């Protein structure tokens, strides 16, 4: 049994000819029993919730991806606190910092402020964070340490689609976060990432497809779906020289624990 901890179901539907029943059926047939669909902008949440309302084992997260925050001027914190109370919403995100696309100081400062609003919502709603990070490790660590410095403000979460440094992973683990690996781990040029996964405790690991992006080998070039998640688990199992069922068991248990499912 597997849990896809990060799948943009709304984008899979937009980019493919599949309907939601097909996507879920394909995934369940491969043993993927749980799916979490995070928002990339708060405006997308009502559509996501409507799409998954009939599926017991599919949940959602509410957030604004750092690359989408320039597309709207809505009161993000207010929306997070209002929509985040829905029973299907189990996390806040995805959110974070992406300096690859933020080329000037003002854009980076905007990302920092909106990231802090997401952290505030997570604390208020007592829900974990789903964090996106690209070329922003030091700033992201400092913000988390600052915003979560009060012992009464501790929250957990996950660093999704991890591609960072060993130091970054260990620092987030020490703060109580999980590390999630996507199809990137299977890429031939991901040797550094493949070495880092060996350092991650199994009780701190999640797996994800990040559908419809980043299809794992041998499905690269195709639109990614949750049905491809076992390829990631099998690849990690070979790297760690453990049975694939161990990866499935740990990552699913971690998923259920983190999101209180």
Tokens of 223: 């639109």
pLDDT over 90, % of the chain: 85
Tokens of 61: 């997260």
The model's pLDDT over 5-30, given as tens digits with 9 standing for 90+, comes to 999 999 999 999 999 999 999 999 99
Q: Using only C-alpha atoms, what is the Rg of the chain?
A: 17
Q: What is the pLDDT of residue 75?
A: 78
- 73 pLDDT above the threshold of 60: no
The model's pLDDT over 191-208, given as tens digits with 9 standing for 90+, comes to 999 999 999 999 999 999
CATH code of 2-258, in short, is 3.20.20.140
Which residues 6+ apart lie within 8 Å of 108 measured at CB? 97, 99, 102, 139
The model's pLDDT over 139-191, given as tens digits with 9 standing for 90+, comes to 999 999 999 987 767 899 999 999 999 999 999 999 999 999 999 999 999 99
d(CA 51, CA 90): 16
The pTM (predicted TM-score) of the whole model is 0.95
Q: What is the pLDDT of residue 152?
A: 67
Residue 158 near residue 258, CB atoms below 8 Å: yes
Ranges of beta strands (E only) in the chain are 2-4, 32-38, 58-62, 89-98, 129-134, 157-159, 177-181, 205-207
- 133 pLDDT above the threshold of 90: yes
Q: What is the pLDDT of residue 69?
A: 65
**How large is the average pLDDT for residues 214-218?**
97
Residue 62 near residue 89, CB atoms below 8 Å: yes
Residue 90, SS3? strand
Which residues 6+ apart lie within 8 Å of 121 measured at CB? 77, 80, 81, 84, 92, 127
Tokens of 69: 């925050």
Burial class (CB in 10 A: 0-12, 13-18, 19+), 210: buried
Confidence of residue 101 (pLDDT cuts 50, 70, 90): confident
Confidence of residue 70 (pLDDT cuts 50, 70, 90): low
């Amino acid at each position: 049994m597997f849990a896809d901890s990060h799948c943009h179901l709304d984008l899979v539907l937009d980019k493919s000819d599949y309907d939601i029943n097909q996507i879920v059926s394909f995934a369940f047939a491969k043993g993927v029993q749980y799916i979490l669909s995070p928002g990339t902008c708060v405006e997308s949440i009502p559509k996501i919730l409507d799409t998954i309302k009939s599926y017991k084992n599919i949940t959602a997260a509410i957030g604004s991806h750092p690359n989408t925050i320039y597309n709207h001027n809505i009161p993000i914190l207010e929306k997070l606190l209002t929509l985040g109370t829905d029973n299907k919403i189990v996390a806040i995100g995805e959110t974070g910092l992406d300096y690859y696309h933020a080329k000037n100081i003002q854009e980076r400062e905007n990302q920092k402020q909106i990231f802090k609003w997401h952290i505030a919502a997570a604390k208020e709603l007592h829900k974990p964070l789903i964090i996106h990070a690209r070329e922003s490790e030091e700033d992201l660590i400092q913000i988390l340490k600052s915003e979560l410095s009060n012992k009464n403000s501790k929250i957990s979460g996950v660093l999704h689609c991890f591609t960072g440094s060993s130091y970054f992973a260990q620092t987030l683990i020490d703060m109580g976060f999980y590390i999630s690996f996507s199809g990137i781990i299977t890429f031939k040029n991901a040797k550094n990432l493949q070495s880092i996964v060996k350092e991650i405790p199994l009780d701190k690991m999640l797996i994800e497809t990040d559908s419809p992006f980043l299809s794992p080998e041998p499905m690269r070039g195709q639109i990614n779906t949750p049905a491809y998640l076992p390829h990631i688990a099998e690849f990690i199992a070979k790297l760690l020289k453990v049975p694939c069922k161990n990866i499935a068991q740990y990552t699913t248990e971690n998923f259920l624990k983190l999101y209180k499912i």
